[in-house]
Amino acid sequence: MDGGRSSKMVEDYLKIIWSAQEWPDGSVSTNEIAEALGVTPSSVSANLKKLARDGLIDYEPYGSIGLTLAGQEIAILVVRRHRVLETYLVERLGLGWDEVHAEAHTLEHAVSDLVLDRMDQVLGHPVCDPHGDPIPRADGSIPWNAERSSAARLSEIDPGAHGRVIRISDHKPEILKYLEEREIAVGTHIHLDESNPAAGSVSVSRSSAGEHPQRVEIATRAADAVWVSVDPHPDGPRGR
C-alpha cells in the first residue's frame, strides 16, 4: 500500500485544504497555502492547476478550492498519519504540544501503515490529537463529537458565554506556548468576561476540574486559535 502513495507535494496540498475546511466556515486561499508551505503564490497556483487536472481538487483561479472524493480520500489518510504521530510524540516521547506539528509533518511522509497502526494500538486508539483535532480511523471515518456543533472561536463568542475548550489550532507553535503559559488547554472551562477590541484582547475566567476560576487576559490573535464548545445558557456556572 505504501508503494502507491502520492507525492509529498500532493499530500501536503490536500492535507492543508482538508484541514482548513474541517471546522465551521473554513476555507483556504492560495496565499494561505503559500504561507503554510513557505513557497510563492505563483508556485501554489501552478500546483493547484495540476491537482485539478489530476482530478484531486475542484479549482478555478481566484475561486474557491475544494477536494474531489479522490482528493478527500488521500487527504484523510495523511491527516490520520499526522495526528497519530503528534499524539505518539506527546504521549510516548514526551515532546511538547508546540513541538510536534513540524516533526509529524516530516514523519507523515515516511511512516509505514504497519508502524502507524501499531502506534495507534499502543495509544489505545485515541479519538483526538493533543490539540483536540479528531483522528480519522483506519477506514477513513471521522469520530463524531457532538460538541463540535456548538463550537466557535473564542475571539468570536459574546461576553457572558461559557463552555469548554475543545480545540486549539497547532499552526503557530508560539501561540501554543503563549496559551500554555496562561493554562489554556483542551478541556479547560472558560467564561468570557469581556472583549476588548481596542486593546486587542479578551478577558476570560478559566478553570480546570476542581479548580476555582482565575481571570486571564488573552490576545485576540491567540483567541482566534481557540475553539470553545459554547454552553447554550449564557452566564451559567463558572465552575465555582
Q: In the chain, which ranges are E strands?
A: 57-59, 65-67, 151-153, 162-168, 189-196, 201-207, 214-219, 226-230
Does an H or E element contain 42, and which?
Answer: helix 41-53
Strands 151-153 and 214-219: unpaired
Q: Comparing 1-144 with 148-230, is the CATH topology the same?
A: no
N-term to C-term CA, the chain: 53
Print pLDDT tens along the chain (240 aa).
Answer: 344 678 999 999 999 999 988 876 678 899 999 998 999 999 999 999 999 999 999 998 888 899 999 999 999 999 999 999 999 999 999 999 999 999 999 999 999 999 999 999 999 999 999 999 999 999 999 988 878 877 899 999 999 999 999 999 988 899 999 999 999 999 999 999 999 998 999 999 998 766 788 999 999 999 999 999 998 876 554 443
| CATH code for the part of the protein at 1-144 | 1.10.10.10
Cα torsion at 19, 25, 30, 31 (round to 10°)? -100
Q: In what order do the strands lie in the sheet with 162-168?
A: 151-153, 226-230, 162-168, 189-196, 201-207, 214-219
Rounded Cα–Cα distance for residues 189 and 123 (Å): 25
* Distance, CA of 153 to CA of 66 (rounded, Å): 23
Q: Are 132 and 166 in contact (CB under 8 A)?
A: yes
- Exposure on the CB side of residue 239, measured as CA atoms within 13 A: 21
Among 142, 17, 144, which residue's Cα sits nearest to residue 70? 17
Contact yes or no for 52/17 (Cβ under 8 A): no
The whole-number pLDDT of residue 3 equals 46
Note the pLDDT of residue 237. Answer: 45
Domain boundaries, the chain: 1-144, 148-230
Residues 6+ apart with CB under 8 A from 94: none
For the stretch 60-83, pLDDT in tens is: 888 889 999 999 999 999 999 999
Contacts (Cβ under 8 Å, ≥6 apart) of 27:
20, 21, 64, 65
pTM of the model: 0.86
What pLDDT score was predicted for residue 145? 80
Please name the residue that has the C-alpha cell 497547532.
170
Q: Determine whether domain 148-230 maps to CATH 3.30.750.24.
A: no
Q: Report the candidate in 165, 140, 121 with the shortest Cα–Cα distance to residue 79.
A: 140
Closest by Cα among 65, 44, 69 to 56: 69
pLDDT score of 207: 85
CA pseudo-torsion sign 83, 84, 85, 86 = positive
Per-residue pLDDT at 25: 67
